[in-house]
Chains A and B, each alone.
Chain A
Amino acid sequence: MITFTLNGKIREFAGDPTTPVLWYLRDEVQLTGPKFGCGMGQCGACTIHLNGVAQRSCILPIAAISGSKITTIEGLSDDGEHAVQQAWIEHKVPQCGFCQCGQMMQAASLLASNPTPSDDEIVQSMSGNICRCGTYPRIHKAIKSASKVMASVGYYVPEKTGEEA
């Protein structure tokens, strides 16, 4: 039995321990925010947080999250209030939207560890996340906006992510 915390709730899993977390989330608990894009950690569409840090859930076996806290886009905020989500709306970043949950989870993780990233640091952190619609210039701008907002209202605290208030 593998026990962990998902979006603030304790969960147990008794199935195949090699199951990637992505398929547990999508098939078992119907959290469909994390997307399947490549299955080999190349595109970032499946990005979630493991103890507050961005991880590719498509190559993360569920056995590896025993005792950990994981957060999906559904747990990032109650209703899109996170500064990154707000910045995505402000800059009208998405086109098709398929990669954007992964992009936002990556961006939130970046800003949690580095609240005022430089242009190059944003590029470096975000270049593992592919967007075929080509929204990169807007993603970059949105991260800079979110960084400013978070600097003025207080930073995102990864340990608290997804915990019920």
Chain B
Amino acid sequence: MSKYFDLTRRNFLKSSAAVGALVLGTCFAGAAPRMMAGVLTKPSESSKEANLFVALRPDGIVEITCHRSEMGQQIRTAIAQIVADEMEASWDKVVVIQAKGDLKYGDQNTDGSRSIRYNMQRLREMGASVRHMMRQAAATRWNVSLDECSAEQHIVTHSSGKTLTYAELVSDALNITPPETDKIPLKKRSEWRYINTAMAHIDLKDIVTGKATFAADVLEPNAHIAMIIRPPVVGGKVKSFDAKAAKAIDGVIDVIEIPAPKGAPVFQPKGGIAIVAKNTWAAMKGRRALSITWDDGKNGDYNSEAFKASLLATVATPQKSVREIGDAVNTLAKANDKLVADYYAPHLAQAPMEPPCATAMYYKDRVDVWAATQNPQADMETVGSMVGMAKEKINVHVTLLGGGFGRKSKPDFSAEAAYISMKTGHAIRVQWTREDDIQHAFYHAVSAQHIEASFDKNGAIDAYLHRTAFSPLASTFIQDTTRPLSAELRLGFTDNPINTPNMKLENGAAPAKTRVGWMRSVSNVFHAFAIQSFIAEAAHKAGRDQKDYLLETIGPDRIVDVTEEKADYDNYGGDKAVYPLDISRLRHVIEKAAEMSGWGRKLPKGRGLGIAAHRSFLTYVATVVEVEVSNSGDLKIIKSWASIDAGTVVNTDTVKNQVQGGSIYGLTAAISEGITFDKGRVQQSNFHDYRVPRMSDCPLEIEVEVVQSDAAPAGVGEPPTPVYAPALCNAIFAACGKRIRQLPIGDQLRT
């Protein structure tokens, strides 16, 4: 009955060399810097063994291992496209195997929009190695020179016309020493047949027939279902509970207390009381019958209105400087005419369609976990410390993810399943409800920003002061810290591209009274909202066209290096020679998106166009949104257009789909009520009061232009999101003259 367990066994067979398959791997090249890497997973630095596999079986089937998590970005297809292209595999013989969590793969943390950026080169080299070995094997068999043998689509052909298939060459290739990767020529771009095409993704058929396996679809026939009531306030604890009524419910097996976390939240479970039942419905009934009293702890006073006021007060006064050019403070002090604006954006929950879910089985010497996780190595660490076992003993199988958006980078749910399995001696599936997901997320930070600018006689910004304050993500890892790491500030704040002689960027302290975590594009979302809204406000003040003024404000083609201004900036871990902040690329996407939208055309009354552009995850995106606002304040998004320059892309259709979806994800920030707190408790609970975009909120047409570029591959999943809310709000202003500085939009258009 168990789909996933079979796959695991097959994995094991494949990896044991006994079956006569040619198995190749590459070594992990270098440690990848990442935000708070110390607390997450350290790439294996010493690993010399082959660790990323392509297996050519004697029947000719090619098994390609995907070590990144699939959450809709089609990484399983992209990895296969890259390897299969360079090895000249026939696509119908390609099978993708999902890797378990294992340090030997290097970084497996599927966030930060970097799966392709980190892996494309070594995947190409691996594919090319196999192709080379196939040619070598054929040349040896035929006793001819290598140059006379070419390989295409699973067949090696000699210049005389004779052929051998890859399947026929597998056993010969087993005796060939793999070539050194730097000695094998990679294909020219013009020779690519899979890379940079719009191939359909490999899981498509399984998805449309309902066969795709997500976390809750792992059929462990003996698993009991657990549901957990967690403390409603972060840092709170169970004071007492009465399980009598719950235990009396038919199908309820056990009630287990989960210990409260210690120290900084990291990815620890929040504690609480678990109901263990024979089936999901019994668990749901059981949890309703449970009565618990809580000790709320110090965050019991968290109130969103009060916190908003404190954030706005913080950004109203001078704060710690992050980057400085010239003398913005004095220039502003002397200015007669300034534009001053405060922006605010609430907490958000990632709310992936699939609520968190994991199955675990505890054994004396290991734990098996099946989870919808973005970062299986973090599951190994978190589960290991929860059950007191070394992380190497935690086997983490990665299912398909029903969306991730950063929520599933935090494997608290896997640790819950493992703990309850340890306590009950039984396989356990922990199923989160939507209410659990909305009320116990790691939230997108709440933020306030203050921007002021003065202008030269032409209306150009001659001094720019920007302060940001938000509940720092750092607090999830460093207990009670009130300062974000530079890795949070670099997300759209430190790397502000505007071209002005005087600039000062400041950051104010703020506590986090809840768990804060990554959400698609992270602090780029609110920073781009403020900056791109402010530039449009300045354009209006100067009586200029939004798009022209935006181009002038970011200035002429050039490379911007903010580290020359002593800013602490790591460029997303990307080498700045390979991934510079290139204003010409930012300008190009702005011009392209404007052109696609017919920028400047005459619009009927009540319609407006808005534009925004932003570089994040080393990728450049510009979006134009067209809206209609009725006299009574009804908002309708007519259409939007986006241009994206992500350097080299693997699947052009996937990129389009990500831009369309990322745009709509960005719409969440504008139309959702956000997550608010009172008495430390989240006030929203499900999709009726935590509103996410529905088809009726969205444009039916999102036109996307993917810039054809030879530049190194950059991010795709996240960069489309930050531009959407500011482009939308700029369009609203153009349509009806109402400026939105505080998100969500809510009723603001009705006043």
Q: Which residues of B contact A88 (CB under 8 A)?
A: 208
A126: interface (CB < 8 Å): yes
Shortest A60–chain B CB gap in Å is 12
CA–CA, A30 to B281, complex, Å? Answer: 15
B205: interface (CB < 8 Å): yes
Q: Which residues of A contact B694 (CB under 8 A)?
A: 127-130, 136
CA–CA, A80 to B212, complex, Å? Answer: 13
B184: interface (CB < 8 Å): no
Interface range, A side:
35 or more
Pick from B225, B354, B355, B658 the residue with the most CB of A within 10 Å. Answer: B354
Pick from A73, A122, A124, A130 the residue with the most CB of B within 10 Å. Answer: A130
Whether B205 and A23, one on each chain, are in contact in the complex, defined by CB atoms closer than 8 angstroms, is no
Q: Which of A27, A32, A73, A95 contacts B280 (CB 8 A)?
A: A27
Whether B698 and A85, one on each chain, are in contact in the complex, defined by CB atoms closer than 8 angstroms, is no
Q: Which residues of A contact B657 (CB under 8 A)?
A: 92, 95, 135, 138
Q: Which residues of A contact B663 (CB under 8 A)?
A: 134
Interface residues in A52-75 (C-beta closer than 8 Å to B)? 72-74
A153: interface (CB < 8 Å): no
CA–CA, A128 to B74, complex, Å? Answer: 26
Whether B661 and A135, one on each chain, are in contact in the complex, defined by CB atoms closer than 8 angstroms, is yes
A164: interface (CB < 8 Å): no
B73: interface (CB < 8 Å): yes
CA–CA, A92 to B199, complex, Å? Answer: 9
Q: Which of B216, B355, B696 contacts A127 (CB 8 A)?
A: B696
Q: Which of A18, A77, A95, A101 contacts B661 (CB 8 A)?
A: A95
CA–CA, A123 to B696, complex, Å? Answer: 6
Q: Which residues of A contact B702 (CB under 8 A)?
A: 137
B357 nearest in chain A by CB position = A36
Interface range, B side:
35 or more
Whether B72 and A96, one on each chain, are in contact in the complex, defined by CB atoms closer than 8 angstroms, is yes
Whether B281 and A23, one on each chain, are in contact in the complex, defined by CB atoms closer than 8 angstroms, is yes
B692: interface (CB < 8 Å): yes
CA–CA, A92 to B661, complex, Å? Answer: 13
Whether B661 and A133, one on each chain, are in contact in the complex, defined by CB atoms closer than 8 angstroms, is yes
Stretch binding the partner chain, chosen from B398-406, B475-483, B580-588, B673-681: B398-406
A45: interface (CB < 8 Å): yes
B653: interface (CB < 8 Å): yes
Whether B279 and A136, one on each chain, are in contact in the complex, defined by CB atoms closer than 8 angstroms, is no
Whether B400 and A97, one on each chain, are in contact in the complex, defined by CB atoms closer than 8 angstroms, is yes
Q: Which of B204, B400, B695 contacts A92 (CB 8 A)?
A: B204
Q: Contacts A39-B434, A98-B354, A98-B403: A73 and B210 contacting too (C-beta < 8 A)?
A: yes
Interface residues in B321-356 (C-beta closer than 8 Å to A)? 351-355
Could you mark each residue 380-413 of chain B with 1 if its beta carbon is under 8 Å from any beta carbon of chain A, else 0?
Answer: 0000000000000000000011111100000000
CA–CA, A100 to B694, complex, Å? Answer: 14
CA–CA, A161 to B319, complex, Å? Answer: 65
Q: Which of B213, B431, B695 contacts A36 (CB 8 A)?
A: B431
Whether A36 and B216, one on each chain, are in contact in the complex, defined by CB atoms closer than 8 angstroms, is yes
Interface residues in B177-207 (C-beta closer than 8 Å to A)? 198, 200-201, 203-207
Shortest A45–chain B CB gap in Å is 6
Whether B207 and A94, one on each chain, are in contact in the complex, defined by CB atoms closer than 8 angstroms, is yes
Could you mark each residue 351-368 of chain B with 1 if its beta carbon is under 8 Å from any beta carbon of chain A, else 0?
Answer: 111110000000000000
Whether A73 and B353, one on each chain, are in contact in the complex, defined by CB atoms closer than 8 angstroms, is no
Whether A97 and B351, one on each chain, are in contact in the complex, defined by CB atoms closer than 8 angstroms, is no
Q: Which of B280, B400, B401, B686 contacts A38 (CB 8 A)?
A: B686
Q: Which of A32, A92, A126, A137 contacts B699 (CB 8 A)?
A: A137
Whether A37 and B72, one on each chain, are in contact in the complex, defined by CB atoms closer than 8 angstroms, is no
Whether B353 and A131, one on each chain, are in contact in the complex, defined by CB atoms closer than 8 angstroms, is yes
Q: What are 9 residue pairs bridging A and B, where the CB atoms are less than 8 Å apart in the complex? A: A27-B225, A35-B354, A37-B353, A39-B284, A43-B353, A96-B402, A127-B694, A129-B694, A140-B700
Contact surface of A with B, Cβ cutoff 8 Å? 16, 18-20, 23, 26-28, 30-40, 42-43, 45, 72-74, 77, 79-80, 85, 88-89, 92, 94-101, 104, 119, 122-124, 126-140
Q: Which 10 A-B pairs have the closest CB atoms?
A: A33-B210, A98-B402, A134-B664, A95-B72, A96-B72, A97-B207, A134-B661, A73-B210, A42-B687, A32-B217
5 more A-B residue pairs beyond the given contacts A77-B209, A92-B201, A132-B403, with a C-beta to C-beta distance below 8 A? A23-B281, A35-B214, A35-B216, A100-B207, A101-B210
